[in-house]
Copies of this chain bind each other. A is one copy, B any other.
């Protein structure tokens, strides 16, 4: 409560200039720290600014510099720790370079994403980081590109867009993980994902998400390599809310030819799936094995601790922001992109399938259950 309790009108450069008895331009130069200003004037202006508690209007500044020092971030669900962590990586990095972050949540809804991107462009963000809900419908992302502002994709690629993509190699790690499950004797591997898709996943289905496509591709490759038929009937897409995930899990486990291992596509899905398994009174890994994507702290606290595919999520956020800001500044890619490697962390939730211990193999002849090649 020093002096001014100014409400309405903000104090402007003009006010400061007047108080320091210099021209508006000179005041602006001193305040904005550009151009040539004598020491005397600088001091007077700064003093006046201090006295009047002047604050620059960044909006006005942005208007004629064309730079807002703001980047837009569009994610599917900030509540999902995956994005929470990535966002942390982004904001940390942005702050370091003097950028702010406008965050938009889309609920993995395409319409919301299109809208969010448009709004952010209208707000003249300097660049955009998007985790696109769809890898195929990308008109709105194309528009970003056309607006002349850089775009970096997080987690998922977008077909036909020249945008830089920050994501771990999902096909590779999925292949590894699947191989591990196969080696453990599993054949009935279920995969649950929130990915919205009109039809179930069949041979040749083109998926809308590069991320999930790659994971399934890795699985298919592992199966193919071992000459085993891929269990298309155990792939569950469109697993939206907690209830539908629970239902899907129950069904996968209670059906005639049940899954012997459940692979959860992210931490949120895992939570619901594990809840369902718990309700079913099934024990992991005795009755059913479990594997999830993303390694969160709680994965070590369950009994047994969970085997996971860990992604360097925070680093991905950092990488995305770094790449974007580099592009905003018009700098070229600095050769060595940091390796964003996902890792399979074996803990206790994957064991041999239940059937493997039973006297007779009720299945089709699919070769020995021993570890393969």
Contact = CB atoms under 8 A, between A and B. Distances in A.
Contacts of A80: 84
Interface residues of A, number: 58
Given A56-B122, A124-B58, A275-B301, A100 B91 contact: no
A300 interface: yes
B102 A100 contact: yes
- Residue with the highest number of chain B CB atoms closer than 10 Å, among A78, A91, A122: A78
Nearest to A73: B103
A21 interface: no
A301 B148 CA distance: 48
A42 to B, nearest CB: 20
A146 interface: yes
A100 B123 contact: yes
Nearest to A60: B63
B300 A303 contact: no
Interface stretch (A2-10, A43-51, A161-169): A2-10
A276 B122 CA distance: 49
Contacts of A178: none
Nearest to A98: B119
A312 to B, nearest CB: 14
A81 interface: yes
A298 interface: yes
Given A59-B59, A78-B91, A79-B84, A6 B298 contact: no
A271 B79 contact: no
B302 A275 contact: no
Contacts of A122: 55-58
Interface string A141-152: 000001110000
A92 B80 CA distance: 14
A87 interface: yes
Contacts of A63: 59-60, 63
B105 A102 contact: no
- Residue with the highest number of chain B CB atoms closer than 10 Å, among A55, A60, A63, A297: A297
10 contacts: A59-B62, A77-B88, A78-B84, A87-B103, A91-B103, A100-B104, A103-B103, A271-B301, A274-B301, A298-B298
Given A10-B147, A78-B84, A91-B103, 14 more contacts: A4-B146, A6-B146, A57-B124, A58-B122, A58-B123, A70-B123, A79-B85, A79-B87, A91-B104, A101-B102, A103-B103, A272-B297, A296-B298, A298-B301
